[in-house]
Structure formats: C-alpha cells, structure tokens
C-alpha cells in the first residue's frame, strides 16, 4: 500500500519531521482555489535514483527534496520510452509513442501526427479550461511538432540559467487567470558528452564535441574534484562506488551488444574505461544533477516569493534515465531500470503535511500526466487516453482498480513491468526474451525466464506484452 516513509526521506533530505502518517482530506488540497496554477518541471536523462530523498548519499538535491517534503514521490514510475523524443511526445499528449510510430531519436518510421492528437495536447486542453499556457526550455519533440502545435506559447528556448530567469520573471508577473508553465531543463544530460569526448571517432561525434562548448564546460565543472582531496581519498570516501550490477548481465540480450556497437564511443567506453573512469562518470552525473537542482531551486524560490506556491500544483519528472555505469553502460535506450525508471513527484497546492512515498502503484509519467493535470484543472481528459489521474492517490485514496502493469516501448525492445516482475522482448539476436524477478534480483543481473516454476509467470507476461507489442510498428 501507499505509505509515508520518513526514514528514507529524512536520510536524503536532512529534515526533521514529527507526527503520524496521514491521509489528506480531498477538500484540503482544493481550498486555495478551484483551479490551481500548474508548474511542470522536466529534467533530461535523470534516473529515479538521482534524487537525495530517494536515499542517494552521493548527491544533494534540496530543491527536488523540498517538493517531495510536501508531496508524493512515486517510486514505481516509468517513462513510455527511454529516449527523449518519444517520451516527450507522450508527456505532452498522454499517448504511447507507437501511436505515431515513434520508437527512437530519430525514428526509422514516423506516421503523420493526426491533427486530433495535436488539438488534444495538454496545452490546448488546459487553454480550453481557462488557463494561460506557456512553455520554456528544451523541446525535442517529433519532427514538425512544436509546443505551439500542442497549445503553448514559447517563453524561451534557453535550457539552463536563462530558462530559470525567464520562468522566475513569468511567475512574478501578474496573472488574471490560472497559468500552466512547463519548464524543461537540459541537465543532467551533459553527462552524454563524457564518453563521446573520450572516444570520438565518427564525424557526428567530432561535430558534437566541436559544437558542445557549453556542454563540455559544464561536464568539466562536474568532473572537478573536491578542494584538497587527494586521489586515494577521493576514490575511497567521496566518489560513488561501482554499482552492484556493474558487470554485464548474465545471458545479456544480444540486441544490447548490437546497440552498443552502433556507436563506437559506446563500445569503447564499455570495453576500455577502467573502473575508476566509470566512477568518475558517476561522480559527474551527480554534480550535473546538482546543477539542475540549483536552477530548479531558484524557480521554486520565485514561486514562493510571488505568494503563489499555496495555489500552485508542482509536478517534477524526467523524460528518461541514464544507465549510470550499470551493466557497463552509459547513455540510455534499454529497458533496464536505470534507463526507464524515472523520478516523479507531485506537490499539491499548499503541500502535504509531510513527505509521502508511493511504492505501490505502477505509474507512467507519459500516460498519467495529462489525465492528472486535467483533473486538477477541472476538465475531462480525452476519453481514449490509457492513463489515469494520480490526484486521488495524492489525496490519500487507494484506487481499487489500478493498472496491473505499465508498458515501456523502445527502439529495439518493449517491456512490461508488473508488481514483482519485468518482462522484455527484444527485436533481434539471441536471448531475446528476458524475465527479471525484481524482488529477488532488483539489479537485473540474470534472466529468470528459464527458471523452474516460472512458466506460468512467463506466459502471463507474454500475454501482457502482446497487448503492447501488437501496436508497435
């Protein structure tokens, strides 16, 4: 069931809270205004473990933790596809990427985007409910699709400090109706440049390095050691250790090797980076996450200083994760937890009396965000959407008929996550079928598909995946 986990939160956030667990009265979250303002904050390439309040001792994220301190953090939250373009399409439309044939960045095949999908984008839905809708930051939507197509006015294309400044100014100005603001930050995505720079071989790699002055500057800052720390001290007590699943998974799907070999820098990093270089990658990933947390913190400060925080719903999430050295991988794209499980926090207007962690409900940020925002805005979501509003859970309810699995699509695999298991089917190669018992094997180190007694479980998950796989082009 959903439960308030103070010990886990306090460990990450450094807060002291007292009092019993609670279930918020529905009227409590709506007492400030009938239709709250909405702020949706997106980061890029941040996995679910990269938040201090999730128990990660190697980084500090006070802004994100502050949202969790007065909201619900969903531990079983997944993106619809572990790369930018398809995931972001889902976040703003509430539809699986396969609805338009979008499986990758860019996709090998992309169906024309129906006008109905555009006109039912979250921006238009909120506008119809009387909202002023604005978008700032990274876009990276399917080719030809813009925030304006989905009902937003663009405030800025800056993805970093300029985005924070523009959003802060927007929050401080007078508004004669409720507003919905999307703030889409780029980091910790700059971590991508570490392996690309170390092993640049292709023309594309060299182009990225030559044009990535800002990205590389941020990366270099993130790689800096603490003042006064010697080499051995740094690796003994400050740099994150290698994860328990650092080595490639037993009976790894051949498709992952094929994916790695598509870009030479991925293959070389996997084969040539020593353990300490992988740990430096983890260190930099933490620092880049702290950089974007500081930007988010300034945005939240402006919201509070404007006096609007008690009348504003704040949602925080990321488009996908990063492998963060698990299975000797960096970047994203696979069904592994590090790439597909993302942070997802909802703080209702005025906040909750204390932090609540939901470790029960299977949640999809790409499917559930649109219905949730529509619910708070007092308008109906399109009837054909698969997602569900999370508002009842935020307000302490326990829906009896919640989904029993969440789907994730990808460029070369699709998967379903159920209460205990994850089942993935890869498009090609050996070991295509993977079953992970996440209760016994949370780090996905071995394939349980052939285990004695797992036959019924395997068949059940095959049927569930077929419901997803049948619609993926």
For residue 106, is the peptide bond before it cis, meaning its omega torsion is within 30 degrees of 0? yes
Q: Which two tokens stand for residue 55?
A: 């128990």
CA distance 445 to 252: 9
When pLDDT is cut at 50, 70 and 90, the band that residue 108 belongs to is: low
Distances in Å between the Cα of 132 and the Cα atoms of 168, 177, 180, 340, 395 are 16, 7, 6, 32, 25
> Residue 250's pLDDT is what?
81
User: What is the three-class DSSP state of 408?
Assistant: strand
**31 pLDDT tier (thresholds 50, 70, 90):** very low
3-class secondary-structure state, position 38 = strand
pLDDT at 23 over 60: no
pLDDT digits (tens, 9 = 90+) for 234-264: 999 999 999 999 999 888 999 999 999 999 9
- The one-character DSSP state at 416 is E
Residue 345, helix vs strand vs coil: strand
Q: Hey, is 215 helix, strand or coil? A: helix
N-terminal to C-terminal alpha carbon distance within the chain? 36
CB burial readout 259-279, b (16+ within 10 A) else e: bbeebebbbbbbeebeeeebb
Q: What is the pLDDT of residues 342-365, one digit of tens each?
A: 999 999 999 999 999 999 999 999
Task: Give the predicted TM-score (pTM) of the model.
Answer: 0.91
Query: What does the pLDDT average to over 169-194?
Result: 97
pLDDT single digits (tens) 436-454: 999 999 999 999 999 999 9
155-169 residues labelled b (16+ CB within 10 A) or e (exposed): bbebbbeebbbbbbe
Tell me what pLDDT residue 471 has. Answer: 54
Burial of 404 (C-beta count, 10 Å sphere; 0-12/13-18/19+): exposed
pLDDT, tens only, 192-230: 999 999 999 899 999 999 999 999 999 999 999 999 888
For the stretch 382-418, pLDDT in tens is: 999 999 999 999 999 989 899 999 999 999 999 999 9
Coil vs helix vs strand at 233: helix
Cα dihedral 178, 343, 302, 135, rounded to 10, equals -50
**E strand or H helix at 262, and its extent?**
helix 254-262
% of the chain at pLDDT higher than 90: 85
Structural domain boundaries of the chain? 6-191+283-403
Report whether pLDDT(9) > 90: no
Q: Which of 14-18, 191-195, 223-227, 272-276 has the lowest average pLDDT? A: 14-18
Q: What backbone phi and psi angles, to 5 degrees, belong to 406?
A: -125, 135
**For residue 109, what pLDDT band results from cuts at 50, 70 and 90?**
low
Identify the pLDDT of residue 1.
41
Strand segments (E) across 125-280? 132-137, 153-156, 179-184
Residue 21 has a pLDDT of 30
DSSP secondary structure of 414-427: EEEE-SSEEEEEES
Contacts for 362 with CB less than 8 Å, ≥ 6 apart: 76, 78, 402, 403, 404, 405, 406, 417, 418, 419
Question: What is the number of H-type helices and E-type strands within the chain?
Answer: 18, 14
Structure tokens at 199: 């092993």
Class for domain 6-191+283-403, per CATH? alpha beta
Residues 6+ apart with CB under 8 A from 261: 267
**Residue 104 pLDDT exceeds 50:** yes
For residue 132, how many C-alpha atoms fall within 13 Å in the half-sphere facing its CB?
11
How far CA 240 is from CA of 183, 234, 325, in Å, comes to: 29, 9, 11
Instruction: Write the DSSP symbol of residue 224.
Output: P
* Sign of CA pseudo-dihedral 126, 160, 216, 208: positive
pLDDT in tens, 363-386: 999 999 999 999 999 999 999 999
Tokens representing 21 are: 């667990």
What are the backbone dihedrals phi and psi of residue 183, each rounded to the nearest 5 degrees, phi first? -115, 110
Q: Return the SS3 of 389.
A: coil
Average pLDDT over residues 46-57: 97
């Amino acid at each position: 069931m959903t439960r308030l986990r103070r010990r886990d939160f306090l460990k990450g956030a450094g807060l002291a809270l007292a009092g019993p667990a609670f279930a918020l009265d529905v009227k409590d979250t709506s007492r400030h205004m009938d239709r709250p303002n909405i702020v949706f904050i997106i980061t890029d390439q941040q996995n679910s473990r990269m938040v201090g309040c999730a128990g990660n001792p190697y980084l500090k994220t006070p802004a994100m933790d502050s949202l969790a301190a007065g909201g619900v953090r969903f531990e079983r939250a997944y993106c619809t596809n572990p790369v930018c373009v398809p995931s972001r399409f889902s976040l703003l439309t509430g539809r699986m990427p396969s609805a338009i044939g979008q499986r990758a960045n860019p996709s090998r095949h992309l169906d024309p985007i129906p006008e109905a999908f555009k006109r039912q984008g979250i921006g238009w839905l909120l506008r119809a409910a009387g909202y002023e809708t604005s978008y700032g930051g990274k876009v990276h939507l399917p080719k030809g699709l813009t925030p304006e197509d989905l009902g937003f006015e663009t405030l800025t294309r800056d993805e970093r400090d300029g985005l924070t400044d523009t959003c802060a100014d927007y929050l401080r100005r007078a508004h004669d109706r409720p507003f919905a603001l999307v703030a889409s930050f780029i980091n910790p995505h700059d971590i991508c440049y570490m392996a690309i720079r170390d092993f640049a071989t292709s023309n594309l790699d060299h182009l990225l390095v030559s044009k990535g002055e800002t990205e590389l500057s941020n990366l270099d800052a993130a790689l800096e050691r603490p003042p006064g720390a010697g080499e051995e001290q740094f690796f003994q007590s400050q740099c994150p250790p290698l994860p328990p699943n650092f080595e490639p998974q037993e009976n790894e799907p051949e498709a992952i090797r094929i994916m790695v070999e598509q870009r030479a820098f991925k293959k070389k990093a996997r084969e040539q980076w020593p353990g300490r270089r992988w740990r430096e990658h983890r260190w930099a990933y933490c620092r880049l996450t702290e950089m974007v947390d500081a930007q988010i913190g300034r945005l939240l400060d402006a919201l509070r200083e404007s006096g609007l925080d008690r009348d504003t719903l704040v949602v925080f999430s990321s488009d996908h994760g990063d492998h963060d050295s698990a299975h000797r991988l960096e970047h994203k794209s696979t069904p592994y937890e590090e790439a597909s499980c993302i942070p997802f926090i909802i703080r209702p207007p005025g906040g909750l009396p204390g932090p609540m962690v939901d470790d029960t409900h299977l949640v999809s940020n790409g499917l559930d965000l649109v219905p949730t925002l529509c619910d708070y805005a007092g308008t109906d979501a399109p009837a054909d959407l698969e997602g569900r509003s999370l508002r009842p859970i935020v307000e302490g309810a326990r829906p009896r008929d919640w989904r029993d699995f969440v789907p994730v699509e990808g460029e070369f695999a699709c998967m379903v996550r159920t209460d205990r298991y994850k089942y993935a089917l890869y498009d090609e190669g050996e070991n295509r079928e993977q079953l992970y018992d996440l209760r016994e094997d949370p780090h996905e180190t071995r394939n349980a598909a052939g285990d004695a007694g797992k036959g019924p479980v395997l068949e059940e998950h095959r049927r569930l995946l077929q419901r997803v796989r049948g619609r993926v082009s």
